Structure 1
Amino acid sequence: MICIRRARPDDATAIGAVHVATWRSAYAGLLPEAYLTSLSALRHAAGYEAAIGERRNGHAVFVAVAKGADAPAGQEGVKGGTVIGFVSGGRSRRPHVADGEIETLYLLDDYRDRGVGRRLMRAMAAHLAAISCRSVMLWVLKDNPTRWFYQRLGGRLVARDVVRVAGQGQEQLAFIWDPIEALLLATAPAPEA
Protein backbone atom coordinates (compact mmCIF):
# COMPACT_ATOMS: atom_id res chain seq x y z
CA MET A 1 0.00 0.00 0.00
CA ILE A 2 1.21 3.51 -0.83
CA CYS A 3 -0.30 6.44 1.04
CA ILE A 4 0.20 10.19 0.69
CA ARG A 5 0.34 12.23 3.88
CA ARG A 6 1.68 15.50 5.23
CA ALA A 7 5.37 15.21 6.12
CA ARG A 8 6.49 15.17 9.75
CA PRO A 9 9.88 16.37 11.03
CA ASP A 10 11.03 12.78 11.52
CA ASP A 11 10.57 12.20 7.75
CA ALA A 12 13.35 14.68 6.92
CA THR A 13 16.18 12.12 6.81
CA ALA A 14 14.27 9.90 4.38
CA ILE A 15 13.26 12.93 2.28
CA GLY A 16 16.92 13.99 2.03
CA ALA A 17 17.86 10.47 0.89
CA VAL A 18 15.13 10.47 -1.79
CA HIS A 19 16.27 13.91 -2.98
CA VAL A 20 19.86 12.75 -3.45
CA ALA A 21 18.91 9.40 -5.06
CA THR A 22 16.61 11.04 -7.59
CA TRP A 23 19.13 13.73 -8.53
CA ARG A 24 21.83 11.12 -9.07
CA SER A 25 19.47 9.17 -11.31
CA ALA A 26 17.78 12.00 -13.24
CA TYR A 27 20.89 14.10 -13.82
CA ALA A 28 23.52 11.43 -14.51
CA GLY A 29 25.30 12.56 -17.65
CA LEU A 30 23.73 16.04 -17.43
CA LEU A 31 25.52 17.34 -14.34
CA PRO A 32 29.14 16.63 -13.37
CA GLU A 33 29.58 13.25 -11.70
CA ALA A 34 31.71 14.82 -8.95
CA TYR A 35 28.85 17.17 -8.08
CA LEU A 36 26.27 14.37 -7.96
CA THR A 37 28.59 12.24 -5.83
CA SER A 38 29.09 15.13 -3.40
CA LEU A 39 25.37 15.59 -2.72
CA SER A 40 24.63 15.08 0.98
CA ALA A 41 21.40 13.48 2.12
CA LEU A 42 22.01 14.84 5.65
CA ARG A 43 22.47 18.41 4.41
CA HIS A 44 19.24 18.18 2.40
CA ALA A 45 17.48 16.57 5.36
CA ALA A 46 18.31 19.58 7.54
CA GLY A 47 16.74 21.91 4.99
CA TYR A 48 13.61 19.79 4.68
CA GLU A 49 13.25 19.46 8.46
CA ALA A 50 13.22 23.27 8.70
CA ALA A 51 10.74 23.55 5.83
CA ILE A 52 8.38 20.98 7.38
CA GLY A 53 8.29 22.86 10.66
CA GLU A 54 8.20 26.39 9.31
CA ARG A 55 5.08 26.45 7.10
CA ARG A 56 5.74 30.11 6.20
CA ASN A 57 3.99 31.44 3.06
CA GLY A 58 1.71 28.43 2.98
CA HIS A 59 4.65 26.06 2.57
CA ALA A 60 3.88 22.35 2.89
CA VAL A 61 5.61 19.03 2.26
CA PHE A 62 3.77 15.81 1.48
CA VAL A 63 5.34 12.34 1.37
CA ALA A 64 4.49 9.09 -0.39
CA VAL A 65 4.94 6.21 2.04
CA ALA A 66 5.12 2.56 0.94
CA LYS A 67 4.12 -0.21 3.32
CA GLY A 68 3.90 -3.96 3.17
CA ALA A 69 4.37 -5.52 -0.27
CA ASP A 70 4.85 -2.09 -1.85
CA ALA A 71 7.79 -1.18 0.41
CA PRO A 72 11.34 -1.37 -0.95
CA ALA A 73 12.91 -4.81 -0.63
CA GLY A 74 14.03 -5.48 2.92
CA GLN A 75 11.84 -2.71 4.35
CA GLU A 76 8.42 -4.38 4.11
CA GLY A 77 8.02 -4.50 7.87
CA VAL A 78 9.33 -1.02 8.71
CA LYS A 79 6.92 0.51 11.22
CA GLY A 80 5.04 3.36 9.56
CA GLY A 81 6.40 2.52 6.10
CA THR A 82 9.19 3.90 3.95
CA VAL A 83 9.24 7.34 2.29
CA ILE A 84 9.58 6.76 -1.47
CA GLY A 85 8.81 10.27 -2.74
CA PHE A 86 7.76 13.76 -1.77
CA VAL A 87 6.49 17.10 -3.02
CA SER A 88 6.96 20.57 -1.54
CA GLY A 89 5.56 23.97 -2.32
CA GLY A 90 3.70 27.03 -1.15
CA ARG A 91 2.90 30.53 -2.31
CA SER A 92 4.88 31.39 -5.43
CA ARG A 93 8.30 32.98 -5.24
CA ARG A 94 7.26 34.73 -8.48
CA PRO A 95 3.69 35.88 -7.79
CA HIS A 96 3.54 37.75 -11.09
CA VAL A 97 3.60 34.32 -12.83
CA ALA A 98 1.29 32.26 -10.55
CA ASP A 99 -0.17 32.32 -7.04
CA GLY A 100 1.28 28.98 -5.93
CA GLU A 101 4.45 27.06 -6.72
CA ILE A 102 5.44 23.42 -6.60
CA GLU A 103 9.09 23.65 -5.60
CA THR A 104 10.10 19.98 -5.63
CA LEU A 105 8.68 16.64 -6.72
CA TYR A 106 10.95 13.63 -6.35
CA LEU A 107 10.08 9.96 -6.55
CA LEU A 108 12.37 6.93 -6.43
CA ASP A 109 12.80 5.29 -9.83
CA ASP A 110 11.14 2.00 -8.82
CA TYR A 111 7.88 3.84 -8.11
CA ARG A 112 7.51 5.76 -11.36
CA ASP A 113 4.64 4.99 -13.73
CA ARG A 114 2.47 3.78 -10.85
CA GLY A 115 0.43 6.97 -10.31
CA VAL A 116 2.38 8.06 -7.21
CA GLY A 117 3.73 11.26 -8.77
CA ARG A 118 0.23 12.17 -9.90
CA ARG A 119 -1.09 11.63 -6.36
CA LEU A 120 1.68 13.81 -4.89
CA MET A 121 0.89 16.57 -7.40
CA ARG A 122 -2.80 16.34 -6.47
CA ALA A 123 -2.02 16.63 -2.74
CA MET A 124 0.00 19.78 -3.35
CA ALA A 125 -2.56 21.27 -5.76
CA ALA A 126 -5.34 20.66 -3.21
CA HIS A 127 -3.25 22.30 -0.49
CA LEU A 128 -2.50 25.32 -2.66
CA ALA A 129 -6.16 25.67 -3.64
CA ALA A 130 -7.10 25.50 0.06
CA ILE A 131 -4.83 28.49 0.80
CA SER A 132 -6.52 30.46 -2.01
CA CYS A 133 -4.01 29.98 -4.82
CA ARG A 134 -5.85 30.31 -8.11
CA SER A 135 -2.93 29.15 -10.27
CA VAL A 136 0.20 27.05 -9.78
CA MET A 137 3.59 26.85 -11.47
CA LEU A 138 6.78 24.84 -11.28
CA TRP A 139 10.28 24.98 -12.71
CA VAL A 140 12.02 21.96 -14.25
CA LEU A 141 15.42 21.72 -15.89
CA LYS A 142 14.95 21.55 -19.66
CA ASP A 143 17.03 18.38 -19.93
CA ASN A 144 15.29 16.61 -17.03
CA PRO A 145 14.09 13.31 -18.53
CA THR A 146 10.84 13.45 -16.54
CA ARG A 147 9.78 16.82 -17.97
CA TRP A 148 7.15 15.00 -20.06
CA PHE A 149 5.22 14.21 -16.85
CA TYR A 150 4.27 17.87 -16.35
CA GLN A 151 3.33 18.24 -20.00
CA ARG A 152 1.08 15.15 -19.80
CA LEU A 153 -0.69 16.75 -16.85
CA GLY A 154 -1.49 19.78 -19.01
CA GLY A 155 1.21 22.13 -17.76
CA ARG A 156 1.61 25.02 -20.18
CA LEU A 157 5.11 26.35 -20.86
CA VAL A 158 5.19 30.03 -19.87
CA ALA A 159 8.83 30.95 -19.28
CA ARG A 160 12.46 29.96 -19.72
CA ASP A 161 15.36 30.95 -17.53
CA VAL A 162 18.94 29.94 -16.82
CA VAL A 163 19.94 28.75 -13.38
CA ARG A 164 23.42 27.81 -12.16
CA VAL A 165 23.74 24.21 -10.99
CA ALA A 166 27.15 22.74 -10.16
CA GLY A 167 28.77 25.87 -11.60
CA GLN A 168 27.09 25.39 -14.98
CA GLY A 169 24.27 27.33 -16.59
CA GLN A 170 21.23 25.09 -17.02
CA GLU A 171 18.10 26.12 -18.89
CA GLN A 172 14.94 25.67 -16.88
CA LEU A 173 11.34 25.78 -18.01
CA ALA A 174 8.31 27.10 -16.11
CA PHE A 175 5.01 25.27 -16.49
CA ILE A 176 1.72 26.71 -15.26
CA TRP A 177 -1.78 25.47 -14.56
CA ASP A 178 -4.18 28.40 -14.66
CA PRO A 179 -6.68 27.93 -13.20
CA ILE A 180 -5.40 25.52 -10.54
CA GLU A 181 -8.51 23.41 -11.12
CA ALA A 182 -6.87 22.25 -14.37
CA LEU A 183 -4.20 20.45 -12.31
CA LEU A 184 -6.76 19.09 -9.88
CA LEU A 185 -8.76 17.70 -12.82
CA ALA A 186 -5.65 16.24 -14.51
CA THR A 187 -4.68 14.43 -11.30
CA ALA A 188 -8.15 13.23 -10.29
CA PRO A 189 -8.43 9.51 -9.60
CA ALA A 190 -9.81 7.54 -12.52
CA PRO A 191 -13.47 6.59 -12.01
CA GLU A 192 -13.97 2.95 -11.13
CA ALA A 193 -15.59 0.83 -13.81
Structure 2
Amino acid sequence: MIRIRRAQKSDAAAIGRVHVETWQATYAGLLPDALLAAMSDVRQSAWWQRLLADPGQARGVFVADDQEMGVVGFGSCGPVRDPPEGLDGTETRVGEVYTLYVEPDFQNIGLGRRLLDALFRQLRADGNDTAVLWMLADNPTRFFYEGMGGARCGERIDTMAGKDVEEVAYAWRNLDAPLIRRKLAAED
Protein backbone atom coordinates (compact mmCIF):
# COMPACT_ATOMS: atom_id res chain seq x y z
CA MET A 1 0.00 0.00 0.00
CA ILE A 2 1.26 3.46 -0.91
CA ARG A 3 -0.01 6.52 0.89
CA ILE A 4 0.43 10.18 0.08
CA ARG A 5 1.46 12.19 3.11
CA ARG A 6 3.14 15.44 4.07
CA ALA A 7 6.93 15.09 4.04
CA GLN A 8 8.91 15.10 7.28
CA LYS A 9 12.51 16.10 7.94
CA SER A 10 13.40 12.41 8.17
CA ASP A 11 12.35 12.00 4.50
CA ALA A 12 15.11 14.27 3.18
CA ALA A 13 17.56 11.48 2.26
CA ALA A 14 14.88 9.47 0.46
CA ILE A 15 13.60 12.54 -1.40
CA GLY A 16 17.18 13.40 -2.42
CA ARG A 17 17.69 9.87 -3.75
CA VAL A 18 14.42 9.90 -5.72
CA HIS A 19 15.24 13.38 -7.02
CA VAL A 20 18.58 12.26 -8.45
CA GLU A 21 17.29 8.93 -9.82
CA THR A 22 14.31 10.48 -11.58
CA TRP A 23 16.32 13.36 -13.06
CA GLN A 24 18.92 10.96 -14.42
CA ALA A 25 16.24 8.68 -15.89
CA THR A 26 13.91 11.40 -17.20
CA TYR A 27 16.34 13.97 -18.53
CA ALA A 28 18.95 11.76 -20.20
CA GLY A 29 19.35 13.23 -23.68
CA LEU A 30 17.40 16.36 -22.71
CA LEU A 31 19.96 17.93 -20.34
CA PRO A 32 23.76 17.88 -20.53
CA ASP A 33 25.24 14.54 -19.47
CA ALA A 34 27.75 16.36 -17.25
CA LEU A 35 24.92 17.96 -15.24
CA LEU A 36 23.16 14.64 -14.69
CA ALA A 37 26.38 12.75 -13.87
CA ALA A 38 27.36 15.39 -11.32
CA MET A 39 24.11 15.07 -9.37
CA SER A 40 24.61 13.73 -5.88
CA ASP A 41 22.20 12.07 -3.46
CA VAL A 42 24.15 13.69 -0.63
CA ARG A 43 23.83 17.24 -2.03
CA GLN A 44 20.16 16.81 -2.93
CA SER A 45 19.39 15.30 0.47
CA ALA A 46 21.13 18.22 2.22
CA TRP A 47 19.11 20.68 0.12
CA TRP A 48 15.84 18.91 1.02
CA GLN A 49 16.90 18.72 4.69
CA ARG A 50 17.27 22.52 4.78
CA LEU A 51 13.93 23.03 3.04
CA LEU A 52 12.07 20.60 5.30
CA ALA A 53 13.53 22.31 8.38
CA ASP A 54 11.50 25.42 7.45
CA PRO A 55 7.86 24.78 8.48
CA GLY A 56 6.57 27.35 5.98
CA GLN A 57 8.20 25.60 3.05
CA ALA A 58 7.79 22.05 4.36
CA ARG A 59 4.00 22.37 4.35
CA GLY A 60 4.11 22.26 0.54
CA VAL A 61 6.09 18.99 0.24
CA PHE A 62 4.37 15.62 -0.07
CA VAL A 63 5.69 12.10 -0.55
CA ALA A 64 4.37 8.83 -1.92
CA ASP A 65 5.33 6.39 0.83
CA ASP A 66 5.31 2.67 0.05
CA GLN A 67 5.11 0.64 3.26
CA GLU A 68 7.81 -1.74 1.98
CA MET A 69 10.06 0.46 -0.19
CA GLY A 70 9.72 3.80 1.60
CA VAL A 71 9.52 7.06 -0.36
CA VAL A 72 9.02 6.35 -4.08
CA GLY A 73 7.83 9.79 -5.21
CA PHE A 74 7.46 13.37 -4.08
CA GLY A 75 6.11 16.75 -5.06
CA SER A 76 6.40 20.30 -3.83
CA CYS A 77 4.49 23.53 -4.29
CA GLY A 78 4.26 27.11 -3.07
CA PRO A 79 3.96 30.70 -4.30
CA VAL A 80 4.54 31.25 -8.01
CA ARG A 81 8.15 32.21 -8.73
CA ASP A 82 7.98 33.19 -12.40
CA PRO A 83 4.44 33.72 -13.70
CA PRO A 84 4.10 32.76 -17.38
CA GLU A 85 3.12 35.50 -19.80
CA GLY A 86 0.10 33.43 -20.91
CA LEU A 87 -1.90 34.03 -17.74
CA ASP A 88 -4.82 36.24 -18.71
CA GLY A 89 -5.00 38.42 -15.61
CA THR A 90 -8.22 36.95 -14.24
CA GLU A 91 -6.23 34.78 -11.84
CA THR A 92 -6.18 36.39 -8.42
CA ARG A 93 -3.77 34.11 -6.56
CA VAL A 94 -1.33 31.93 -8.43
CA GLY A 95 0.66 29.09 -6.89
CA GLU A 96 3.23 26.83 -8.47
CA VAL A 97 3.93 23.12 -8.55
CA TYR A 98 7.73 23.12 -8.26
CA THR A 99 8.44 19.40 -8.46
CA LEU A 100 6.61 16.15 -9.06
CA TYR A 101 8.71 13.00 -9.48
CA VAL A 102 7.89 9.30 -9.18
CA GLU A 103 10.47 6.52 -9.44
CA PRO A 104 10.25 4.75 -12.82
CA ASP A 105 9.21 1.40 -11.26
CA PHE A 106 6.23 3.13 -9.62
CA GLN A 107 4.97 5.17 -12.58
CA ASN A 108 1.65 4.55 -14.33
CA ILE A 109 -0.16 3.38 -11.19
CA GLY A 110 -1.75 6.70 -10.22
CA LEU A 111 0.88 8.10 -7.84
CA GLY A 112 1.55 11.18 -9.97
CA ARG A 113 -2.16 11.96 -10.00
CA ARG A 114 -2.44 11.47 -6.26
CA LEU A 115 0.60 13.68 -5.60
CA LEU A 116 -0.73 16.35 -7.96
CA ASP A 117 -4.05 16.23 -6.12
CA ALA A 118 -2.28 16.75 -2.76
CA LEU A 119 -0.34 19.69 -4.21
CA PHE A 120 -3.48 21.27 -5.65
CA ARG A 121 -5.25 20.84 -2.31
CA GLN A 122 -2.35 22.56 -0.53
CA LEU A 123 -2.28 25.41 -3.04
CA ARG A 124 -6.03 25.82 -2.65
CA ALA A 125 -5.72 25.77 1.17
CA ASP A 126 -3.13 28.52 0.82
CA GLY A 127 -5.70 30.67 -1.00
CA ASN A 128 -4.63 30.08 -4.60
CA ASP A 129 -7.17 29.75 -7.39
CA THR A 130 -4.63 28.89 -10.12
CA ALA A 131 -1.59 26.62 -10.32
CA VAL A 132 1.25 26.72 -12.82
CA LEU A 133 4.03 24.26 -13.52
CA TRP A 134 7.19 24.80 -15.60
CA MET A 135 8.84 21.85 -17.35
CA LEU A 136 11.23 21.04 -20.18
CA ALA A 137 9.38 21.34 -23.48
CA ASP A 138 10.72 17.98 -24.71
CA ASN A 139 9.79 16.11 -21.54
CA PRO A 140 7.23 13.42 -22.48
CA THR A 141 5.60 13.89 -19.07
CA ARG A 142 3.87 16.91 -20.61
CA PHE A 143 1.20 14.50 -21.88
CA PHE A 144 0.40 13.56 -18.28
CA TYR A 145 -0.18 17.22 -17.38
CA GLU A 146 -2.26 17.80 -20.50
CA GLY A 147 -4.34 14.74 -19.59
CA MET A 148 -4.86 16.19 -16.13
CA GLY A 149 -6.36 19.35 -17.61
CA GLY A 150 -3.27 21.56 -17.70
CA ALA A 151 -3.36 24.20 -20.44
CA ARG A 152 -0.12 25.38 -22.01
CA CYS A 153 0.28 29.03 -21.11
CA GLY A 154 3.89 30.09 -21.54
CA GLU A 155 7.38 29.45 -22.82
CA ARG A 156 10.86 30.50 -21.81
CA ILE A 157 14.49 29.64 -22.39
CA ASP A 158 16.57 28.63 -19.38
CA THR A 159 20.26 27.79 -19.23
CA MET A 160 21.32 24.58 -17.49
CA ALA A 161 24.99 23.64 -17.31
CA GLY A 162 25.74 26.03 -20.17
CA LYS A 163 23.01 24.68 -22.47
CA ASP A 164 19.90 26.65 -23.42
CA VAL A 165 16.77 24.56 -22.91
CA GLU A 166 13.20 25.39 -23.82
CA GLU A 167 10.66 25.21 -21.04
CA VAL A 168 6.88 25.38 -21.21
CA ALA A 169 4.34 26.29 -18.55
CA TYR A 170 1.01 24.63 -17.88
CA ALA A 171 -1.80 26.22 -15.90
CA TRP A 172 -4.84 24.99 -14.05
CA ARG A 173 -7.09 28.03 -13.67
CA ASN A 174 -9.60 26.51 -11.26
CA LEU A 175 -8.18 24.19 -8.64
CA ASP A 176 -11.69 23.07 -7.72
CA ALA A 177 -12.62 22.18 -11.33
CA PRO A 178 -14.80 19.08 -11.50
CA LEU A 179 -12.71 17.69 -14.40
CA ILE A 180 -9.62 17.49 -12.21
CA ARG A 181 -11.48 15.96 -9.27
CA ARG A 182 -13.35 13.43 -11.46
CA LYS A 183 -10.18 12.29 -13.23
CA LEU A 184 -8.29 11.92 -9.97
CA ALA A 185 -11.12 10.03 -8.27
CA ALA A 186 -11.75 7.75 -11.24
CA GLU A 187 -8.12 6.72 -11.58
CA ASP A 188 -7.23 6.09 -7.92
Q: What is the TM-score of this pair, normalised by structure 1?
A: 0.86
Give 2:170's match in structure 1, choosing from 158, 172, 175: 175
- For 1:76, the equivalent position in structure 2 comes to none
- For 2:79, the equivalent position in structure 1 comes to 91
Deviates more, 1:153-162 or 1:142-151: 142-151
> How do residues 10-21 of structure 1 correspond to structure 2 at under 5 angstroms?
10-21=10-21
Inter-partner Cα distance in structure 2 for 1:129 and 1:113 = 25
- For 1:166, the equivalent position in structure 2 comes to 161
1:6-47 CA distance string (max 9 Å, x none):
000110011011010001101112222222111011111122
- Residue 190 in structure 1 maps to residue 186 in structure 2: yes
Inter-partner Cα distance in structure 2 for 1:65 and 1:106 = 13
The unaligned stretches of length 5 or more in structure 1 are: 72-81
Three-state SS of the structure 1 residue aligned to 2:64 is: strand
- For 1:112, the equivalent position in structure 2 comes to 107
Percent identity, aligned pairs only? 40
Inter-partner Cα distance in structure 2 for 1:8 and 1:58 = 8
Inter-partner Cα distance in structure 2 for 1:23 and 1:180 = 27
Q: What is the TM-score of this pair, normalised by structure 2?
A: 0.88
- One-letter amino acid of the counterpart of residue 20, structure 1: V
The unaligned stretches of length 5 or more in structure 2 are: 88-92
- C-alpha change, 1:61 and 1:187, in structure 2 (3 Å) is farther
Inter-partner Cα distance in structure 2 for 1:187 and 1:55 = 31
Three-state SS of the structure 1 residue aligned to 2:121 is: helix
Inter-partner Cα distance in structure 2 for 1:83 and 1:58 = 16
State the Cα distance separating 1:165 from its structure 2 match.
1.2
Give 2:128's match in structure 1, choosing from 133, 148, 165: 133
- Residue 144 in structure 1 maps to residue 139 in structure 2: yes
Three-state SS of the structure 2 residue aligned to 1:189 is: helix
- C-alpha change, 1:36 and 1:57, in structure 2 (3 Å) is closer
State the Cα distance separating 1:186 from its structure 2 match.
5.3
